Amino acid sequence: MSELINIENYESYYLDFLEGNLNESDTALLLDFLDENPFLKVDDSEFSVIYPDDSFQLDSLSKSLLKFRAFDQIINHENIEYFLIASIEKQLSEDKTKELQQFLVKNPSFLIDLQHYERAHLVADDSIIYHDKQKLRRGIIIPMYARFLAAAAGIALFFSIINLNQIDSPKGLAHSGVKNEKEKVKTEVKNEFPTEVSAKNTSEEANNVSFRKLVSRNEKLIENSQNENINPLGFKSLQKLNNRPLLNDIAITYIKPFVKENLTDEFSDNTFAALEMKNPILPITSRIGEAINQQIDFKTTKAAHKKPGGFLFKIGKFEISRKVYDNSSVALK
């Protein structure tokens, strides 16, 4: 070149210098120029980009992975890593597995590598457990709620049917274990209805007279009750009672329908509202109530001495309850 090196042409000199093609005189000129203009010098790190180090070579595994049908190669020192891993990965055919075994017999130093590959297999730690599985669950899974509600409804229905039968049937009443309470009610009825007559193990004639009076009284009561809009359930049973044949051996006692107005003080003081009742399945009833958008209540209490027990089951406006007085009295609302 041997021309004056300047900012316009120094790059061509520089490239020749880096490639080793610059003669001594031009090299001296270039170095002088670079000393005068140090900002034009190329860093050593940039040299490596231009002249890559020979030590940076693609490893044998990478080369094997790049090859097409690498498994078909003959196993040698260059590709042994590839076949060792393939063996661990169970990718080798039977022939290649035998070839690898033969190679390892001839070159036992690679057995250690094979052992390392076998040990480098990851094993899941089973002690690591996700504890919040319940939060992940989906769908309506309330079989216990449904069962509880169904059981409660079934029990309530069962008792309601039994109690209806007892009210309908004077015999049922006689056999329902209410003998202790019967006298109290009878006294109360007599006081309130002076013309009431009770027949008890008397003659047939006396029974007939008493019963006719009772029937007459019932008819008046039905008329009055229709005007006063009192619970028709009880009167329906009284209407049925009118048509029943006279019985000699049964103590027939007129019992007023179980409406609040006719309860004795003891009864009225012990209404369900006055009782300390608890809902044993409050979460269930509240949840189901929310689900069907209806108020649901289920309360129970145990009967104690002079204190009634029973249950109250309510869905919206529908309400059913059972009251027990020392196991001797049952009232159905």
Partner 1 sequence: MNSKEYNIAVDTYSDNVYRFALKHLKNEMSAKDIVQDTFLKVWLKHEEVQAEKVKSYLFTTAYHCIIDWINKEKRNGDFKKVSDNLSSPKSLEFDVSDILEEALNRLPEIQKSVILLRDYEGYNYAEIAEITKLNESQVKVYIFRARQALKVYLKSRELVA
Interacting residues with partner 1 (CB under 8 A): 61-62, 65, 81-82, 85-86, 88-89, 113, 116-117, 119-126, 128-130, 132-133, 135-141
Specify the residue, 81 or 99, whose C-beta has the smaller distance to partner 1.
81
Smallest distance, partner 1 to C-beta of residue 54, A? 22
How far is it, in rounded angstroms, from Cα 100 to Cα 80?
8
Residue type, 10: Y
Inter-residue contact 88 to 117 (CB < 8 Å): yes
Stated as kind and residue range, the H or E segment containing 301 is strand 296-301
Specify the residue, 12 or 115, whose C-beta has the smaller distance to partner 1.
115
Smallest distance, partner 1 to C-beta of residue 329, A? 49
How far is it, in rounded angstroms, from Cα 303 to Cα 324?
6
Specify the residue, 84 or 214, whose C-beta has the smaller distance to partner 1.
84
Question: At a CB cut-off of 8 Å and minimum separation 6, what does 54 contact?
Answer: none
Specify the residue, 81 or 196, whose C-beta has the smaller distance to partner 1.
81
How far is it, in rounded angstroms, from Cα 104 to Cα 92?
15
CA distances to 90, 100, 118, 188 from 81, rounded to whole Å, are: 14, 11, 13, 106
Map tokens 């008890």 to a residue: 200
Specify the residue, 83 or 313, whose C-beta has the smaller distance to partner 1.
83
Smallest distance, partner 1 to C-beta of residue 120, A? 4
Specify the residue, 87 or 166, whose C-beta has the smaller distance to partner 1.
87
Smallest distance, partner 1 to C-beta of residue 239, A? 53
Smallest distance, partner 1 to C-beta of residue 161, A? 36
Q: Maximum Cα–Cα distance for the chain, whole Å?
A: 159
Specify the residue, 121 or 317, whose C-beta has the smaller distance to partner 1.
121
Smallest distance, partner 1 to C-beta of residue 129, A? 5
Secondary structure class of 333 (helix, strand, coil): coil
Smallest distance, partner 1 to C-beta of residue 141, A? 8
Specify the residue, 122 or 304, whose C-beta has the smaller distance to partner 1.
122
Smallest distance, partner 1 to C-beta of residue 135, A? 7
User: Per the structure block, which two tokens stand in for 192?
Assistant: 């309130």
Map tokens 């509202």 to a residue: 273
Inter-residue contact 257 to 231 (CB < 8 Å): yes
Annotate 195-229 with DSSP letters as a single string: T---B-S--HHHHHHHHHHHHHHHHHHHHHHHHHT
Smallest distance, partner 1 to C-beta of residue 90, A? 10
Specify the residue, 3 or 72, whose C-beta has the smaller distance to partner 1.
72
Helix-then-strand count for the chain, H and E:
15, 4
User: Per the structure block, which two tokens stand in for 31?
Assistant: 């170095």
Inter-residue contact 278 to 272 (CB < 8 Å): no
Inter-residue contact 41 to 56 (CB < 8 Å): no
